[in-house]
Every structure is written in C-alpha cells, then in structure tokens.
Amino acid sequence: MSKVTVVGSGFVGATVAQLLADKDIADVCLVDVIDGMPQGKSLDMMQAAAVHGFDRKLVGSNDYADTKGSDIVVITAGIARKPGMSRDDLLKTNANIVQTVARETVKHSPDAIFIVVTNPLDVMTYLTWKTTKLPASRVIGMAGVLDSARFQTFIAMETGFSVQDVRAMVLGGHGDLMVPLTRCATVNGVPIANFLSKEKIDEMVKRTQNGGAEIVALLKSGSAYYAPGSSVVQMVEAILKDQNRLLPCAVLADGDYGLKDVYIGLPTVLGREGVKRIVELKLEKEEAELLKKSADSIKENIDLMNKLLVAV
C-alpha cells in the first residue's frame, strides 16, 4: 500500500487527505502541530469510509515519527498573509515552517518524493530542495496544475463547452507573472481563438493570474482549497501510478528554457521517479520574455529569503 504524508491539516491538507482516500490512491498520515486537529479530521474521514466505500487508512498525528516510510510527502503547512503583515514577514514565517517540516520529514522518509504547496510556492519548493538535499527530480511544487485548471474553467465558462474538452497549460511562477499559453489552449483540439475574441482571451488570462486573489476577496477570510487540493491529488496519482502525465509543475530549471538555479512552472512528465523529464516547448519571443520575467521575480524572492533565514 502506498503511503502519503500530508503536513498541515488545514483546508488544503484535509482536502488532499480526503480525496486520496476516497479515490483509493493511498493511505494517509495527516500531521499538524495543533494537538487533536489532525486526529479529529482523520477520524472523521475514516468514518466516511462506510459511506464512500474505501478501505484506505487515515491517521492523524503531531509526531513526525508517524510519517516514517512515506512514498510522498505533501507540504501544505504555513500561514496566509494577514492584515498588517508585510511580504517579508510572510516569507520569513513560512520559510521557517517549511524548513522545519522538510528537515523532520526527510529524516523518516529519505526515499520520499516531496510536493510543496505552501506559498510563496516557487520559493518554498526551492527551500525544500535545499533543506532535504534530495535530487531535484524528487522535489516538486504544485502550482501549474492549479493555474491551468483555473484557466480551463474560465475557458469552459466563456465558451459554454464542457470543461472536460478544454486543455490549457500555464507556465511560470505562481503569481501575477504566470504565463498562460493561450495559443496552446484548445477545446477538443480546436484553438480557443476560433471561439473567443483576443479581448476576451486577454480578460481570462488576467482572471487566471488573479485566480487566488479573487477567491480570497470573495471568502473575506481564508483562501482556496478545493481546487488546490484536487491539483495535488492529480500529481500524487500521476506519480504513484507511474502515469507519465505531462503537467505544468514547479521544477528546478537547470538550463531549461535558458533558466538556471530557479524553481519555476514548466511542462513536466511525472511518474514513479518524480520528475522524469522537463519538456522543452518552442516558445514565441513574447512568451519566453514573460517566462524570464517571472523567473527573475522568483530569484529576487529566493535572495530575500536567504537574507531573512538564519541558514538555508
């Protein structure tokens, strides 16, 4: 039986745990620093097994020792930005949390593949890679799957076609500098330019780039978790079932797309080893420039994080 540890039992972490069990993908260890929270949520999910008909085991814990032997570790632990909190405060706080989580979990599961969800995502994925000292193929950030799902949803909403027929890919960092590849977006193989005006496509690009902020504004408190959780599960399933899925993920660029030493969203083949390879697409000049701009922004945040942390 495959085992997945999810660190952080908030809305995203709990959604990941529930979906992994419900889809019969893996047993789950849900970990949190808050006493009772992961235990209570995992027990609640186990009681749903009789209704949904799954036999996967879910265990809640405050002890990293219980994560031993995990095939995959998902890091969702961290805080959301609060009123009065600067970007530096958020970066430093979450970096310290992620650094601790990565250090503790890799002790008990040195052969695991890590999927990072905590924001700022690209920077936290880089930090996890540095902290665990694992091969970059085994440290991956979840963002491109989510951003692409949002773009696909908006295309379906605007065209009226089933979202099942919509395909789209979003590259770059997880923020307003992400790069939706509009010319590659299709409805059952037909480019969306056949159905939508350039102005409407540009509107959808902007909405995708601000997808998370739109939900935060609507909720008033908290942030998205259904779509992020589902996106993590798609990645976990691709890895555990060795599906060779081509998905946009935050991976280490080592000369790919002319980028170096930065975690950023690129087309990635996921399988049992983690990142099997990065697929190099022929980007148009504007797309390549936007991707580089996104990478430069991530590098600036990595430099800032290095200054804020005592040691990386």
Where do the domains of the chain lie, and which CATH numbers do they carry?
Answer: 3-141 (3.40.50.720), 144-307 (3.90.110.10)
Closest CA to 22 of 275, 237, 210: 237
Is 158's pLDDT higher than 60? Answer: yes
Residue-wise pLDDT for 139-152, tens only, equals 999 999 999 999 99
Query: How far is Cα 276 from Cα 266, in angstroms, rounded to an integer?
Result: 13
What's residue 220's pLDDT? 85
Q: Which two tokens stand for residue 211?
A: 């997808």
What's the first-to-final CA gap in the chain, in angstroms?
Answer: 34
Residue 312 confidence (pLDDT)? 45
- 243: three-class secondary structure by DSSP: coil
Instruction: Please say if the pLDDT value at position 87 is more than 90.
Output: no
Kindly report the pTM of this predicted structure. Answer: 0.96
Q: Which residues are catalytic?
A: 174
What's the mean pLDDT in 101-111?
98
Amino acid at 65: A
Q: CA–CA separation, 102 vs 87, rounded Å? A: 22
